[in-house]
A and B are shown apart, each in its own frame.
Chain A
């Protein structure tokens, strides 16, 4: 990888390009600098107009952070914990089962009849309407009953010689990835209604750890499967074949050989998923209200709650941002070693 594309440029144009990149870099960094500086200002230091340099323009103070910790502007400490717990567990679960699915898609052959997929959708819809309208079951009850029936019927239908195309691994992957295309508002709103009706049956999902984590796992899976498939494809198959000759069962090949070999990829995927969950706003807005509120919701609320107290807002924003800044540092180190190269092909 030498310098491509700019080889024909003169010395002067190279400098011009460097200045351009530097300018973009400044645009990127300045707002971040601004929020860090503002978080250490006293109220008069903020209201009096823009000031830039600590100790010269203004005297820094830790007061905004002390306020945050003492919970004057909402329970930051607990919300931070919530975000951490939900983020770590959702990312870990999604990476684990996503990696398993990705491995299966790379190494095993799957055949799904399009007809079976249609059977699933139509039966799920039909039984839902039947149970709901005719037998008078509540909507979640009807859904929960219709789902297994349709699923079993679809699995059986897959073995029958139905007409229509047969879908392979590529199509299953496409199905996974296409879940990302859906506007999340479609699901978020329906999920909110579904959760609250399930809650009326006695099982609390709204504003609960299980409900939020489950939803985040489902929404991280497409990315995980997509990223991990590329990592697994890059692993030479010879090692696995050698193990198969010795009759090592598949699950031990996966855990003992494949997982250690793709540790970097798993780690990068885990971090990307964690960032996604940590920053997510829409689902948290719908699915939590007090106990399991996450940081983005609390941070967004700072805006309206007590007016423009920018020093406190900056401190709050900083709390949400800093963990991801650290991760950016770690990720860029991995990027330098060419790790993410495979992920985009």
Chain B
């Protein structure tokens, strides 16, 4: 039952005001700035260039490479997170021995500061004192260029992302698995369906809505990746691992090229919106079939 009482405004307005002020406000500010040629260093008065900044950006190879890098990290990392996370969640749900102990350990990484995690990763991947290289050298792989080669560095960043955020997938999938009705499985059991058939016939389709939500959240969050890359490689070697956020940071905070950076962040916003909408559109038929 919905009540109607003037006091409802007292309840909702503080939150609305704060969010409006802090998020819509800067939006207007940077939207208008993105049409200007505006630099703080050297200080030149703002000049209206309309879509000039956007045109320059779209011709800038560094922008496309940052977009590509970010997309690569986001899709591969989220794919791995989902596969591993779903697997571990299934196992935990099936009461694997020692499951209680696992839960705390498995929850941990997602609560830790990405900055600290990235520092730990640098230690792990360190060529001289890192345990990983020592371990691998036993198999004849000596001194792999973990953070100094572009492809390796990208793989390392993806590995760290997977390490940190798989727990989130585990947590959500586990909670989803626990809401599944039991009688369906009992029926399948009577029909002598194998575990494999049960998974593809019952579990996977029934988990599709929550899977879609989890992957969506992770995908959007992964596109914002910044701190991990900032600490692990700083975008290097060269600009091989530079992500969109890092690119915007370099342009804005190092060069103080305001109009350009504002345009860049709006292109970023558009890119994320396109990806989000495409994702939802692709998934909608599958989700609605189930209802």
A residues lining the B interface (CB < 8 Å)? 1-9, 13-14, 17-18, 20-22, 24-25, 27-32, 34-35, 38, 46-50, 52, 97-98, 100-101, 103-105, 107-110, 121, 124-125, 128-129, 139, 143, 147, 151, 172, 176, 179-187, 189-191, 193-194, 214-215, 217-219, 221-222, 225, 237, 241, 244, 249-251, 254, 275, 278-279, 281-282, 285-286, 295-296, 299-300, 302-303, 308, 310, 313-314, 316-317, 320-321, 324-325, 327-329, 331-332, 335-336, 338, 340-341, 343-345
Contact = CB atoms under 8 A, between A and B. Distances in A.
Nearest to B25: A143
Contact of A340 (B24, B99, B175): B175
Nearest to A47: B129
Contacts of A176: 15, 19
Contact of B268 (A185, A320, A336): A185
A189 B227 contact: no
A61 B191 CA distance: 63
B116 A317 contact: yes
Interface string B72-105: 0000000000001001101111111111101111
A288 B175 CA distance: 38
B26 A187 contact: yes
B15 A97 contact: yes
Given A104-B12, A182-B269, A281 B198 contact: no
Contacts of A340: 171, 175
B71 interface: no
Interface string B183-206: 001000100011111110001000
B26 A21 contact: no
A241 to B, nearest CB: 7
Contact of B198 (A7, A101, A191, A314): A7
A310 B119 CA distance: 9
B16 interface: yes
A172 B16 CA distance: 10
B22 to A, nearest CB: 3
Interface of B: 1-5, 7-8, 10-12, 14-16, 18-33, 84, 87-88, 90-100, 102-109, 111-124, 126, 128-131, 134, 163, 166-167, 171-172, 175-180, 182, 185, 189, 193-199, 203, 210, 213, 220, 223-224, 226-227, 230-231, 244-245, 248-249, 252-253, 258, 261-262, 265-266, 268-269, 272-273, 276
Contacts, number: 344
Given A299-B116, A335-B103, A181 B175 contact: no
A329 B99 CA distance: 15
Nearest to A184: B224
Contacts of B27: 186-187, 190
B115 A124 contact: no
A128 B114 contact: no
B254 to A, nearest CB: 12
Contact of A295 (B113, B171, B177): B113
A282 B245 contact: yes
A307 B90 CA distance: 43
24 contacts: A5-B177, A13-B195, A14-B96, A18-B96, A31-B124, A100-B12, A108-B4, A108-B11, A109-B4, A125-B31, A186-B27, A189-B26, A189-B253, A250-B3, A282-B245, A300-B118, A310-B129, A317-B116, A321-B113, A327-B111, A332-B103, A341-B178, A344-B176, A345-B179
Contact of A186 (B105, B176, B210, B266): B266
Nearest to A197: B29
A325 B104 CA distance: 9
Residue in B28, B31, B198 whose Cβ sees the most chain A Cβ within 10 Å: B28
Contacts of A187: 22-23, 26-27
Contact of A143 (B28, B98, B113): B28
Nearest to A49: B129
A329 B107 CA distance: 9
Contact of B90 (A5, A31, A143, A286): A5
Contact of B129 (A17, A50, A302, A324): A50
